[in-house]
């Protein structure tokens, strides 16, 4: 299948590299308003007219990595032109946009996947299979905290896209979705969501925590784009504890048995560019029309956006897409 990309950031460069490692995708084109930026990706064809990309029948799939607030409009037009979509997280600004987009996908017989790269890896599957070994779950802690160079712009009085409500930015939707999506993949939909944010003068969060209440199990997720953290993640049950080095990518999964103290390493060595697993899995699902897999990841996207929407509501974070 032929795939085109939208966006020219580092994440797009990594995805293009991942495409080259798959057997089911061929990098066929790149869209950018500025041709020289798209040329740096090494695309066989450059699109500077969005409608031209949408009209090109040779393009089967489009990977969207534009600013968050542009995802919805771009995805809808492309799906109406019968193109499958892999959209960077956060896929859309609101649950209403998500619902409309999935309906558009269904109406046009195409797939719409959110690019939760951390959920497609071999070590994610190993972590998921290990949960039962720790017994009844009681508490888990998952985090993604990484200082953003764009925060320096905020400190200088500017409003970069990633920290702007106009572009649906903030730490929650940029980094928080990694631990939150992992929690949803492992534990399902929480019964209650409680969120606390550190707000920036731009109107979005710079860091925060979202507590997911599962009744007999509490999962604390933390995220930040204004600090770094080197804390490991933990999943604790009555019979043992799983320690993981990070949520994306997961390179170490250590299981400690409570009674004996015995430790077991469960992780395997993964490819350096873990986006390869995402690209391969999604493309294979599209090619084989794997509706069961599609339903699984679609459900995760729906739960995650309702969590982030509730978290933003509790902290009075309103995106321009909602205010209009």
Q: Give the residue ranges of DSSP H helices in the chain.
A: 10-19, 35-39, 50-55, 71-80, 95-107, 122-130, 150-155, 171, 177-187, 275-288, 291-314, 320-323
The span from the CA of 217 to the CA of 236, in Å, is 9
Q: Three-class SS string for 110-131?
A: CCEEEECHHHCCHHHHHHHHHH
Q: Which of 65, 98, 115 delimits the end of a domain?
A: 115
pLDDT at 323: 76
248 and 185 within one domain: yes
220 and 150: one domain? Answer: yes
pLDDT tens for each residue of the chain, 324 residues long: 999 999 988 999 999 999 999 989 999 999 998 888 888 899 999 999 999 999 999 999 999 999 999 999 999 999 999 999 999 999 999 999 999 999 999 999 999 999 999 999 999 999 999 999 999 999 999 999 999 999 999 999 999 999 999 999 999 999 999 999 999 999 999 999 999 999 999 999 999 999 999 999 999 999 999 999 999 999 999 999 999 999 999 999 999 999 999 999 999 999 999 999 999 999 999 999 999 999 999 999 999 999 999 999 999 999 999 975
Asked if residue 69 belongs to a domain, the reply is yes
pLDDT score of 324: 59
pTM summary value: 0.95
Nearest to 185 by CA among 232, 135, 247, 264: 247
How many domains does the chain fold into? 2
Residue-level pLDDT at 35: 83
Q: Is 158 found in the same domain as 259? A: yes
Last residue of a domain, one of 84, 115, 146: 115
Query: Which residue, of 115, 140, 162, is where some domain finishes?
Result: 115
User: Residue 132 burial by CB count (10 A; 0-12/13-18/19+): exposed, middle or buried?
Assistant: exposed
Q: Tell me whether residue 282 is in a domain.
A: no
Indicate whether 161 and 307 sit together in one domain: yes
How many Cα atoms occupy the beta-carbon half-sphere of 132 within 13 Å?
3
Residue range of the domain that includes 99:
2-115
Q: What are 53-94's pLDDT values in tens digits?
A: 999 999 999 999 999 999 999 999 999 999 999 999 999 999
Instruction: Tell me the C-alpha distance between 245 and 228, whole Å.
Output: 14
């Amino acid at each position: 299948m032929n795939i085109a990309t939208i966006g020219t950031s580092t994440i797009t460069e990594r995805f293009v590299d991942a495409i080259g490692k798959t057997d089911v995708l061929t990098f066929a084109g790149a869209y950018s308003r500025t041709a020289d930026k798209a040329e740096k990706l090494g695309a066989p064809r450059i699109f500077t007219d969005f409608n031209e990309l949408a009209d090109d029948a040779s393009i089967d799939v489009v990977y969207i990595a534009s600013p968050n607030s542009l995802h919805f409009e771009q995805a809808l037009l492309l799906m109406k032109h019968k193109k499958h979509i892999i959209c960077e997280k956060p896929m859309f600004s609101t649950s209403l946009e998500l619902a409309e987009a999935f309906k558009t996908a269904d109406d046009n017989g195409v797939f719409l996947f959110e690019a939760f790269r951390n959920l497609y890896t071999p070590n994610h599957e190993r972590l998921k299979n290990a949960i039962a070994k720790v017994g009844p779950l009681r508490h888990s802690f998952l985090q993604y905290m990484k200082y953003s160079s764009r925060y320096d712009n905020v400190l200088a009085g500017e409003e970069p896209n990633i920290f702007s409500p106009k572009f649906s930015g903030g730490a929650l939707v940029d980094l928080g979705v990694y631990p939150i999506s992992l929690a949803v993949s492992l534990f399902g939909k929480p019964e209650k969501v409680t969120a606390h944010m550190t707000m920036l003068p731009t109107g979005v969060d710079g860091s925060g925590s979202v507590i997911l209440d599962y009744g007999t199990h509490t999962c604390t997720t933390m995220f930040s784009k204004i600090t770094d953290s080197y804390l490991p993640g933990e999943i604790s049950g009555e019979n043992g504890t799983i320690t993981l080095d990070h949520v994306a990518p997961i390179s170490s999964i250590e299981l400690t048995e409570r009674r004996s103290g015995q430790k077991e390493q469960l992780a395997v060595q993964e490819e350096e560019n873990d986006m390869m697993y995402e690209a391969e899995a999604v493309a294979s699902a599209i090619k084989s029309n794997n509706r069961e897999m599609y339903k699984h990841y679609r459900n995760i996207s729906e739960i995650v956006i309702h969590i982030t929407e509730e978290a933003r509501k509790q902290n009075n974070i309103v995106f321009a897409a909602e205010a209009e």
